[in-house]
Amino acid sequence: MRLRPTTALVPVAVLALTAACTAGPEPAPGPTGPTATAVAVEPVVRTVVLDGEEVELEVGPVAVHGDVAVLRVAAPTQTPFLRFALWDVFENLSSPGPSGVRLVDTEEGVVRPVARDELDRAVMSGNSTPGGPATDAGDEAADGDEVVYAAFAAPDAGRVDVMLPQGGWVADVPVVPADDAGVLTVPPEELAEGGVADAPVVPLEAYTEVVGGTVRARQTPEAVTVQVASDVLFAVDSDLLGPEAEAALAAAAAQVTAYPGGTLTVVGHTDDVADDAYNLDLSQRRAATVAARLAQVADLSGFDVTVDAKGESQPAVAGTSPDARALNRRVEIVLVPQGEPEAAEPVAGELPVAEGPVASGAEGVSYQDDDDTFTVRLPEVRRQGRYLVGELEVTHVAGDSETIDGTLASGAWDARGEFDASLQFAATNVTLLEGDRRTYALDYVRRVVGDREIREPLADRLVNVVPLGGTRTVTVVWPDAGQESVTVDVPVHYATTANIPFGGPAFRLTDVPVVDG
């Protein structure tokens, strides 16, 4: 269903001209609240499908109120349509509202989730929104259209990209002073009693692994950490490199030598099977062996190299299961780089055998999920700053159920194997394949509970409903390695050594062109 366009913009130039040509005494001061904008502030207009309905959205402006900015989203719908369509229930349990919207700065490499109040609730349009004169004026200017707002930490740039649940990626949304936005904004205090208590700005991180998980790399703004599984490097209780070590160390060296230099620390870790002293000594010897071999296979002359050992004191994951202990037996190569990385070389290694249907991104694949049939297409991937944005088109072709819970998820685990039940509906298992290297969606640390980091993917969080005959957009964002085309792979995900699969059916989309956004 195509819904009518909105009519919320104020004809500012006409207002200004009328004021200039009107004779008579100065008018008395008007009531407090928003005024007509001093400069026309155009939102970005995009037609999207939300909850099965085709809707023309106005996104923006992002109006700056001191340290806080308020994003406006409007559509010719009736409340609470937008509140439910843009809601991330895991971000705000108490009320529907646009808690799933995120602001992304593709140059700075940071994401801004919705701000929180003193009770850790999202500061946004919702059931408990107090409202006020600015809200009333904005509703009047919207002329019957539905308007929702969400507060964020104020961006530094004049434009910012907006990621919408179901609605995809909206680039170059204007960031303006609140005075210029006029009736197209409200102060944060009209969204939550007491306003904003916390407005996070979180760095984005990239995670890749060699297929099979033997070499894992995480890139943050400060460092690159490469984890090499000890089981592929050494035999049990040994510090002598085994026959499979060379390929793993070559992959690790490629991550390091992409940079001209820096500080390089090789750190040994073990599981908790033996006693502390034995594990500390073993981890020290293994780290020294890896550092020595790295110096032989790569030019480390630009790096200050040191060796360290942690034994069992810093596990990668909690637990004593065989899976957890295998992840904890590792050697970490921690690089604090100096300078920018060189252009990426083509990744060696062959693509793993596909585990499901394969087709070009433009053609799309068809797959079966229980008694329902779906198709998935990805005609292109857009380059936005230093990232690649994919908007998969998931269409429900046949069947009775509207739910697709977990189809694109890696079960209830994040990319590093940490359990998080809230991710069981997220698009965490949509990866890029280049040779034998798999790249997961960008992610970030949303909160810290004790010594555990809770991560959020820069991908749609709640992919759980596609009406029969309808199409849903699923957005996933990856780091840009300079490719002209990509292969998108949704593999079978195994979360235990018992080889029990989690998540949905596997499929692969090839030859997806990368275009400038």
As a whole number, mean pLDDT of residues 164-169 equals 97
User: ∠119-124-129 over CA atoms, to 5°?
Assistant: 75
> pLDDT tens digit string along 304-318?
999 999 999 999 888
**Is the preceding peptide bond at 457 cis, omega within 30 degrees of 0?**
no
Any idea where the domains of the chain sit in the sequence? Answer: 12-203, 212-338, 358-516
CATH class (in words) of the domain with range 212-338? alpha beta
Closest CA to 515 of 390, 399, 345: 390
Q: Which two tokens stand for residue 390?
A: 């994919």
CATH class (in words) of the domain with range 358-516? mainly beta
The better pLDDT of the pair 434, 407 is held by 434
- For residue 423, report the phi and psi dihedrals to the nearest 5 degrees: -95, 5
As a whole number, mean pLDDT of residues 122-132 equals 95
| pLDDT for the residue 447 | 85
User: Is residue 142's pLDDT more than 90?
Assistant: yes
| pLDDT for the residue 3 | 37
> pLDDT tens digit string along 259-318?
999 999 999 999 999 999 999 999 999 999 999 999 999 999 999 999 999 999 999 888
The structure's pTM equals 0.87
> pLDDT tens digit string along 38-66?
445 899 999 999 998 999 999 999 999 99
Whole-number Å distance between alpha carbons of 70 and 140: 18
> pLDDT tens digit string along 226-254?
999 999 999 999 999 999 999 999 989 98
